[in-house]
Amino acid sequence: MSSFPAEVDRVLRSAGWRPGRAVDCRGWREAFERRGLPMHDAADSFLREFGGLTVHLSGPGVSVARTAFELEPTLCEGEEDRFSEWGESIGRALYPLGELDHGRFFLGIDEFSEIYLVETWVAGFGRMPDALENLILGVRPVVIDDGAEPWA
């Protein structure tokens, strides 16, 4: 996708990434299409390059602690409604990417390559490649929808 700052590049390489990496996404595509979540081009592009990586992180970050994440969409199986409902709520097509903080949160990507933290609320890490940098460097995601019901 892009060149990364030295620290981000080092972390990604230690997780098994390299420029030009290409992973077969068919299994993820088929699994989630059967569950009503078609893989859009941005998800396909991201997962071809980064799918299957586990990034081990801890310690202080820029604005939040650095947290391990796993880019394995099958970790989101059974959560399809969460992705489709939040996607509808924010007007984006959210596709599952994996987990953040050992399953505490889910990660998703929209059709514009923005990466999201998905829980009972949604926050954005920005668009690629900044999103991956923010995840690795410990930059707090921006809350987009806190899940609170609007006043009637």
pLDDT at 148: 58
Examine residue 46 and state whether it is found in any structural domain, yes or no.
yes
Examine residue 149 and state whether it is found in any structural domain, yes or no.
no
**Full domain range(s) for residue 13:** 6-144
Examine residue 74 and state whether it is found in any structural domain, yes or no.
yes
pLDDT at 2: 54
CA dist., res. 80 & res. 82, Å (int)? 5
Examine residue 60 and state whether it is found in any structural domain, yes or no.
yes
Examine residue 27 and state whether it is found in any structural domain, yes or no.
yes
Examine residue 152 and state whether it is found in any structural domain, yes or no.
no
Examine residue 1 and state whether it is found in any structural domain, yes or no.
no
Examine residue 151 and state whether it is found in any structural domain, yes or no.
no
- Token pair in block for residue 17: 């990434």
Domain holding 106: CATH number? 3.40.1580
pTM for the full model? Answer: 0.93
Strands 105-109 and 95-100 turn out to be: antiparallel
For residues 48 and 68, is the Cβ–Cβ distance under 8 A? no
Element (H, E) at 2: none
Q: How many distinct structural domains can be found in the chain?
A: 1
pLDDT, averaged in runs of 10, over the chain (152 residues): 84 96 96 94 98 96 96 96 94 96 96 96 95 96 74 36
